[in-house]
Chains A and B, each alone.
Chain A
Amino acid sequence: MSLPHTLRASVTPPELELIACQQLVDIVPLIAMEKTAFISGAYGPLRPPHKARIPLWMAVTLKQKKKCHILAPEWLTVEYLQLKLTQETTQAEFTKLPFRFAELSRVMLDVASDDLQNPDKLRSLLQDLREARQAKARAGLENLEHSALGLSNLSAMEINEIRPFFIEAMAILGRLQPGA
């Protein structure tokens, strides 16, 4: 078939990762490169040791060839995530995090953990955040009604996780209250 079964209900995490990798990150290049036109825009010039801003996929490719260091975004630090975790566990609503923080942090921790400070602590904080937010999202299901549900500050990966269940629940509520 034109679209495999597994892709029909929702997008997959690798696809979300592909989209997230288009976002720009700061790097310190270890090679020089002239300003170059790519399909998504022009990037460069790379002049070590000056910082440059390029898409994450490009940074990942260069990093894997040991041609750059990726600089952690300001939200991917132990202090920041610690603060967010405290907010997350004390407030009723979701704290504001970058929309694609799950994908971005995963990619960066996978390929550039040596460029990050205290990657193990980062991993465990991200995991704690994820669990706290997941519990909230499930509790939010109680507020589901058939017309609309505000879900501000939920991230792309979290939406994807709850999507099948929430959509089906909405459909059933809609059938129970026709025209209400």
Chain B
Amino acid sequence: MSSVASWEAEYLRSKESNATSAPSFSHRGLSAPLEDDLLIPDVQLGEPLPEETPLEQLTRHWMNERHAPDILPAQDVLLGSILDHIRRQSDTIQLLRGDPSTSEEEHIRIMLAQTEVERVQFVVRSYVRTRLYKIEKYARYIIANEDVQTRITTAERDFASRHANIMDRHFYSSVLQSLPESQAGLDDTPHFIMPPMVTEPETTRAVFAHALKRTIARTPEGKTIDLPKGSLTLLSYAAVADLVAAGEVELV
């Protein structure tokens, strides 16, 4: 009986958490600048975004992160709740596995639950690794740029600064210490054809944007591009970066 009770409890809990993690659309609306509303009068602002389960949200953020050249805002609350859910589900599985009275039917449930835990873990790992990759790649850019630091968690920020530090020390001890002092810097202003010494995200790179609601993208040159709901457009990441962060556009 205890096993059935724990499945039930999990079911109720998942229903509750769905209710509380509804899209914070109105919240975003409040913090958006006022002129946004005035410039795009033909867009229906009340149109709700499609409802997503936490796993669907994570999958969307995972794909966004994989396709976006820049590092996206951290989803630590969502990630935390999914990790908690994985842990609770794994605990239930362990409990049922150890129970000798578990029936044949229950074995199939356990196997399915276990399969799903592994699928979700894969998504979580790939998501975290993608962020780590970007942090390693842009470590020096991140520690020099406060705007990017607002998008990452404290742990990620510590990791970035430690990584940048280690790389600096390595470059210094292997090469830079033997160079004249004027050439031993790691952040010189680049000469006209040289790439910059600090690797920065290539925000103008093209991405495939799928509009989840009707919205309007603005290119850095000031052009506007209408994105009807459900449309698929290849355009510069810089034009949709804000829309991706707001969840109105997903990268595919």
Binding site for B on A (CB under 8 A): 1-3, 7-8, 10-11, 15, 18-19, 21-22, 31-42, 57-58, 61-62, 65, 67, 144, 147-154, 156, 159, 163, 166-167, 170-171, 174, 179
Kindly name the residue among A33, A39, A61, A154 whose own CB sees the greatest number of chain B CB atoms within 10 A. Answer: A39
Contact of A151 among B8, B56, B89, B234 (CB under 8 A): B234
| 16 residue pairs bridging A and B, Cβ less than 8 Å apart | A1-B133, A34-B109, A38-B89, A39-B55, A58-B112, A61-B115, A144-B234, A147-B221, A147-B223, A151-B234, A166-B206, A167-B206, A167-B207, A170-B205, A170-B234, A171-B205
Interface pair A150/B232, CB less than 8 Å apart: yes
Which residues from chain A contact B111 at a C-beta distance below 8 Å? Answer: 61
Closest Cβ of chain A to B51, distance in Å, is 12
Contact A39 B116, CB 8 Å, known A33-B105, A156-B252, A159-B208? yes
Other than the known A147-B221, A149-B233, A150-B232, what 9 A-B pairs have Cβ atoms closer than 8 Å? A19-B63, A33-B109, A37-B11, A40-B53, A58-B116, A148-B225, A152-B231, A159-B208, A163-B208
Interface pair B115/A3, CB less than 8 Å apart: no
Q: In the bound complex, what is the Cα–Cα distance between A38 and B116 (angstroms)?
A: 8
Closest Cβ of chain B to A68, distance in Å, is 11
Which residues from chain B contact A11 at a C-beta distance below 8 Å? Answer: 63, 66-67
Q: In the bound complex, what is the Cα–Cα distance between A36 and B207 (angstroms)?
A: 38
Which residues from chain B contact A37 at a C-beta distance below 8 Å? Answer: 7-8, 10-11, 13-14
Interface pair B126/A15, CB less than 8 Å apart: yes
Number of residues on chain B facing chain A (CB within 8 A)? 57
Interface pair B113/A2, CB less than 8 Å apart: no
Which residues from chain A contact B221 at a C-beta distance below 8 Å? Answer: 147, 179
Q: In the bound complex, what is the Cα–Cα distance between A149 and B108 (angstroms)?
A: 47
Q: In the bound complex, what is the Cα–Cα distance between A70 and B154 (angstroms)?
A: 46
Q: In the bound complex, what is the Cα–Cα distance between A67 and B54 (angstroms)?
A: 29
Interface pair B105/A31, CB less than 8 Å apart: yes
Which residues from chain A contact B215 at a C-beta distance below 8 Å? Answer: none
Interface pair B233/A151, CB less than 8 Å apart: yes
